[in-house]
Amino acid sequence: MEYRDYYAVLGVDKDATQDQIKRTYRKLARKYHPDLNKDEGSESRFKEISEANEVLGDPEKRAAYDQLGTGPNPGQEFRPPPDWDAGFEYSGGFSDEAGDDAAFSDFFETLFGQNRRAERGRGSAFHARGQDHHAKILIDLADAFTGANRTLQLKVPRVTTDGHVIVEPRTLSVRIPKGVRAGQHIRLKGQGAPGLDGGEPGDLYLEIEFERGSHFRVDGRDLYLNLPVAPWEAALGSKVKVPTPDGVVDVTVPANSVQGRKLRLKGRGIPGKAPGDLYVVLQIALPSADDKKARECYQKMADELSFNPRATLGV
């Protein structure tokens, strides 16, 4: 995906005020609008500046975009970090200038497309209601097993009196329900933007992501754990200790187990009406041959066992 420097597209500095961005966009829009400019490339240029204005002209999306930092040079391949907007609160609203059929780049859709599609589905009756806000929060996997009360500090953009966008902290107390899944949204009613003309405030939607660093891989409610086992444990069968998010359990490794074999621990995944399972994936760990005794053991196996690990390859 190609990185886009929206400031360079509009030709404004990164500390430009919202009024400066608005004036620059209108000037460029008049110059390159396809109804007024029939030169080759004017329509493409108009789409670029419209997309840049869609982001920089909205204080919330601009502040979210700024969280990415400078990024690579324009045109280079780019992938935003998975948690680039974690803890950042912004609305899903989109300007009328963009239009429902605006064709934005893959870069834009990756950053804001999900909220754009959600906002379209709301219809036109929300004009007096405050906009919904969205934020991504990171929690420990253990919180999904027990539930938790968390105090979160979110980053909220605000336009200062001199027209610059700043980010301020906002503190909220949130109940993380037991059984919550990655990608699930927690709705905090009335915690979004204020309503217009006495309308009710919008809601705040918190999207759940699990902190990295866990031994477990999450797939819906199921968990996967790569478990190292010794060659004799896999070959002869054994009982081994296995960590789970809610404690250590004993698991039987069947005899003649091979690398990659999955052992299912039913109901040991993320809790729910239909709890997930925990899959233990066996990883055979070989002892190093860094001393005389180990080398002798390996040599004895080589001499006495008729074993060709490449037999399935025909060699």
The tens digit of pLDDT for each residue in 259-278 reads 999 999 999 999 999 999 99
pLDDT of residue 73: 64
pLDDT of residue 96: 52
Measure the CA–CA gap between 148 and 79, rounded to whole angstroms: 32
> For the whole model, what pTM was predicted?
0.68
- Once rounded to an integer, what is the mean pLDDT over residues 59-65? 87
Burial 286-301 (b: 16+ CB within 10 A, else e): eeeeeeeeeeeeeeee
Measure the CA–CA gap between 219 and 199, rounded to whole angstroms: 40
Those residues with Cβ within 8 angstroms of residue 293's Cβ, 6 or more apart along the chain or in another chain = none
- Once rounded to an integer, what is the mean pLDDT over residues 172-197? 89
Task: With cut-offs at 50, 70 and 90, classify the pLDDT of residue 126.
Answer: very low
3-state class percentages of the chain: helix first, strand second, coil last, to nearest 5:
25, 25, 45
For the record, the structure tokens of 119 come out as 């906002």
The values of phi and psi at residue 31, to 5°, are -70, -40
pLDDT of residue 71: 63
- Once rounded to an integer, what is the mean pLDDT over residues 209-221? 90
Query: Is residue 147 predicted with pLDDT exceeding 80?
Result: yes
Query: Is residue 98 predicted with pLDDT exceeding 80?
Result: no
* Least trusted range by pLDDT, from 80-94, 152-166, 210-224, 239-253: 80-94
Domains in the chain (CATH in brackets) are: 6-210 (2.60.260.20), 216-289 (2.60.260.20)
Helical (H) or strand (E) element with 159: strand 148-159
Three-class DSSP category at 131: coil
Among 53, 67, 64, 66, which residue's Cα sits nearest to residue 19? 53
- Once rounded to an integer, what is the mean pLDDT over residues 290-307? 92
Q: What is the mean pLDDT of the chain?
A: 86
- Once rounded to an integer, what is the mean pLDDT over residues 149-169? 88
Q: Are 245 and 225 in contact (CB under 8 A)?
A: no
- Once rounded to an integer, what is the mean pLDDT over residues 21-48? 91
